[in-house]
Amino acid sequence: MSEHLYTPMTPELLCSNIEDSLTFYTNILGFSIQYARPENGFAMLERQGSRIMLDEFEPDSSRSWIAAPLEKPFGRGINLQIETKSVDDLYACVQEANAQIFLPIEEKWYRADDIEVGTRQFIVMDPDGYMLRFFEDLGERPYIRQ
C-alpha cells in the first residue's frame, strides 16, 4: 500500500452509524474520504494531513475491539487535537451546522518549559460524542513567571 496513506499515529473511532459520521466529517468539517470499505462500514478520512479512521460498530463481530460495554458518548475522556488553517472559518461552519460545540473558540497559551505556545482553538463533538479540538498555531512567546 502507498506510503502516503499512513501517518505515524491514526486514531480509529468506532461509530454507531457510518453514514451519519461520514456526513458530519466530510460536509461539516471538510475531511475527504481517502478510501473506504462500505461492506465493512469503514472509511479512512484526511484533512490537511490529519487522518482519522471511522469504523461502524458491529456488536456481534469478532473484529469489534472493545474493552468494556460501549455507551454514548463514545469519546469520554479523550479529545483529539487537530491542526487546521483558518480555524475561524471552520468554527463558522460548525456553528452554521448547529453541531454540538463543547468549547467555544478561544485563544489559549500553554507553558512548555521556558516558553508559551499559543493556539486559537475550539472543541466540537462528533455524532458519537468524540471531542475534536481544532486549533490554529499562534506561535511562541517567552514564559514569564508570575
Distance CA 54, CA 43 (A): 5
pTM of the model: 0.89
Give the model's pLDDT for residue 4: 63
In a domain, 134, yes or no: yes
In a domain, 99, yes or no: yes
In a domain, 128, yes or no: yes
Condensed to tens digits (0 to 9), the pLDDT of residues 58-77 reads 877 666 677 778 888 888 88
Residue 2 has pLDDT above 60, yes or no: no
In a domain, 66, yes or no: no
Domain that holds residue 120: 3-59+75-142
Distance CA 58, CA 63 (A): 8
Residue indicated by cell numbers 486559537: 120
In a domain, 100, yes or no: yes
> What is the total count of domains within the chain?
1
Condensed to tens digits (0 to 9), the pLDDT of residues 28-50 reads 999 999 999 999 999 999 999 99
In a domain, 67, yes or no: no
